[in-house]
Each structure stands twice: as C-alpha cells, then as structure tokens.
Structure 1
C-alpha cells in the first residue's frame, strides 16, 4: 500500500473539508505516521474516515481511535502553545498524544486499561517520542491530583461536562470534550476565564464512545 498517497488523500479529502486549515496541524498530520499507531492488520484502514478499533494481539479491546478528521479538528481547536502543559484522558494507542507533544511542552495522558497503556508506551518508545508521560488509572479521578493544565482533551465522550476537569484547568485554559449521549453529542470547547468561570462553546455535532467512569447528567426529580 502507498501510505504517503493515502495520507495525502486523508488530509485533502477528509481533514481540510472539516475546516482544519491550520498549516502547522496539517504539517503534523503529514509528518506523524498514523499507520504506525494502529494494529498491523488494520494499517490499510489507518486513513479511513471512521473510528478504528484498538486491538492487542489480534483481540478487540472494546476501545477505539477517533477518526482522523476528529483528531485533527481537536488538535486545531486546542490551540496549543510551546509552553503548554496538556492532559489527555484516554491514551489509546498514543497517536493523539504524539501529535500534541509536537506543539506543547509536555503531555500527561491517562489510560484506564493497563494493556492499552502498555501498548501506548511501546508505540511511543518505538517512535522515539518524548515529553509524554503515560499514567495508568481513571483520568476523571486522577486529574485533580496532578495540578493544573493549560489544555485538557478527552479521547471519547462524556455524557455531562466533567467538572473535575474544569477545576484542573489553569485560568485561560481550554477543555475540549465530546458532550452528550447518542444520538445527540457535541464537541464542546470550554475556556476558563481569569476569574475561574468556565465559558462553553459548542463547535460541531458528532458521535463517540463514552469513556469509562465519565460523569452522568444530573437526574431530574419531580
């Protein structure tokens, strides 16, 4: 398979039409080899417009990589800066963390499945990626113990806006999360104002698998 042609077509036919026009983001998508972060038997599907299953030793884990256009859109909307400290909830194969590490000072990424966490560590070591720390555990529980971050991103959906992650943002920080339950989900960008208030802005409608232990909406009581 001609991976370079497939990568070019992915960028031009999927990602640009999704209003991902930041040249640094597009350059990163061309430079970081996505196919090296997917199971070998799925490499030919690495550039398709769909979520890809994460497999270990040929077995599905029940988790997924987000589609290339969603990862690209998230990377653009985070507006990462060279001194930023980033937190990712849901490491997956390590591909998104690798993209973010090229733009930020450091990425901390938390994965609840130990086997997937080890897969990500192996991928990062194989690719010589630095400035990334992979932590085993539940990101929603651990985030408050890790200090504050300039940017936080979730690799899956959360039925409700996660308050613990908003609290883990520095003033001026950004939280990017897919909020809602199927069939109504939105990619939402929340910014923390200097006085600590979170201002949320819906960006687009989409669908994604909810992350384990993600917060649920408050139930109405009549």
Structure 2
C-alpha cells in the first residue's frame, strides 16, 4: 500500500469535496500521519471514509477523515490558542489541534484509550498536547478559560458548563442533535453573558460518553 498516495487520495477525494478548503488544514492533513493513530488491526483503514473502531464500545471510534478535517476548519485556530478537547479517542484530532494551537488539553473518559492516545502523541512529537483520563462532561474549569473547545463526538445539546469555560471571542464546536439528523454547531462567546450560534452543516456521529440525554416526556 502506497501510504502517500492513499493520503493524497483521502485529501482530494474525501476531504476537499466536503468543503474543507482552508489550505492550512489541507497541508496539515498531508503532514500529520493519520495511520500512526489508527489501531494496528485497522491501520489499513486509516484513509478510508469511515469511522474506525478503537475499543469494545460502539461509540469508541476514530471519526471519519472528512468529519475531523471539517471540525478542525470550523475551530479556526490561531497559534496562540489554548484548546480543550472532549473525547480524545486515538489522539489524532488532538495532534491536528496541537499543530495549529499553542496547547491542547484532551479529556478521555476511558483510561486505556487515554494512555494509548498520549503514547501516540508522544511518538508523533506533539509536546504541547496533554491527555487526561477524565469525565469531560464538566470540562476542565481549573485549566480554563479556553480560546476553543471541541467535542469529538455528538451530544444531544450543548452543555452550559462548557460554554462558561470559553473566553470572550472563543468558540465551541460540537455535533449536536439526534439521528438521523445532527448538525455541526459552532457557538461563539460574544460577551460575558451572550453567545451566538451557527449550524453550518449536517453530519451524524456517535455519542460522547457521560453526557445526559434530555427527557423525552412531555406533559
């Protein structure tokens, strides 16, 4: 398998047609080695347009390349940004963020995944990325505030606790809603007490562990 050709095809056939046009994001995807973050048993799938299993639970996956690329584009990171990620998975998204931002703290509820992700990041030379085995539902208030927060998975609704950890001008990117129709959601903190929300595209993703579901009952 020609890995460089497979990487090129992933970018040109999956990612660019999905409206990922930021040249910095596209260049980064050609440099950060996605295959090094895929489990050994699934390394051949690293460049395929699919979610790659990472553990025994159905929601433990590496998101599809085009989804990760477009989430990164929505974050619109600067090299001075301090970033929080919820749901580390394999560590690939944290590696992409670390390549663009000043630092990233990534929270992973599964301790085994957290250990593997930190090892992947160290091997890749990402010294400004830290993985912490923790429940990410409340974020990391002691480490904030953050310029950007990414939820690497879906939630039923944007958690207020995470929004409060954004700096003014900061943005949170998440996949919000229920199947069959979820939406990428970008929430920007415009002042201490106000937020603006955009929902630029549709996508489905597995649920992040630990986040509560709203009641389905109505009276």
Counterpart in 1 of 2:43? 43
Distance 1:137 1:195 in 2: 27
Counterpart in 2 of 1:158? 155
Aligned residues: 218
Distance 1:14 1:52 in 2: 16
Distance 2:18 2:209 in 1: 28
Contact 1:143 1:164 in 2 (8 A): no
Distance 2:139 2:173 in 1: 18
Partner deviation per Cα, 1:142-164 (whole Å, 9 max, x = no partner)? 43333210000011100111111
Which stretch shifts more, 128-137 or 6-15? 128-137
Counterpart in 2 of 1:92? 89
Mapping of 1:1-222 within 5 angstroms? 1-55=1-55, 60-62=56-58, 63-217=60-214, 221-222=218-219
Structure 2 unpaired stretches of 5+:
none
How far apart are 1:219 and its partner, in Å?
5.1
Contact 2:138 2:162 in 1 (8 A): no
How far apart are 1:128 and its partner, in Å?
1.7
Normalised TM-score (structure 1):
0.94
Q: State the secondary structure of the residue aligned to 1:69.
A: helix
Distance 1:196 1:103 in 2: 28
CA RMSD of aligned residues (A): 1.3
Which stretch shifts more, 69-78 or 196-205? 196-205
